[in-house]
Structure 1
């Protein structure tokens, strides 16, 4: 996978996490047995920015930790045109990331990796709308992230 990082906050700390993100993408390719290399965009935002996105696209007027916009949802009938390899966009809210890392008692790096993995799995067609889907997706998240960042 290839990554485009868009740092809306211009905080260089997040750009230093590129090796982590690359390791997660490589592990995701391995675990999901992806045969092609895809493009993914990651946008770093704060509470205010993600709240506006959440309100606009999901009609939920509050901030969230991560939102993914897949270019191809499972329900879509279209196929990617030849040469198109872009999966979609992941937006990570670093304000929520910091709060959650503290609440869960682990590093910001692990929370960042977890949120990125979660968003990446959504782009690959996984969801957690039912208990069965949630078990499958969360097991994959742990399989990917635990191999890279220990608890």
Structure 2
């Protein structure tokens, strides 16, 4: 049972699809990263708003305790979210490397396919020229023989 080799053009197309898929995956990861950053900014803003209310002396007793607990919870959420963002960015680095590697592989295959195509066109041109030269020789020889 022998397997037929995949034509180079098909292999280039497959690599291009892989690059497109990895690009879309990376774009989705970048969008997720931006959501993390936006959420962190909003949570930090809430922490600042909470601190401003306490500093102004507007809160009394129980409200101040509640406000403090709220701020602690927010800070814990900010910390957890920042850790999640760091893990996500590490995954993005891996995805970025895979994308760059796939893009390089695709480009190399594309260049090889282009060179092969040009070589085939040159070979075809040489064959056509040889046929034309042979026909011209035959015509010349027939002209001399007459």
TM-score calculated relative to the size of structure 2 = 0.21
> Is the helix fraction higher in 1 or 2?
2
Bigger Rg, structure 1 or 2: 2
> Is the strand fraction higher in 1 or 2?
1
Larger relative contact order, structure 1 or 2 (CA cutoff 8 Å, min sep 6):
2
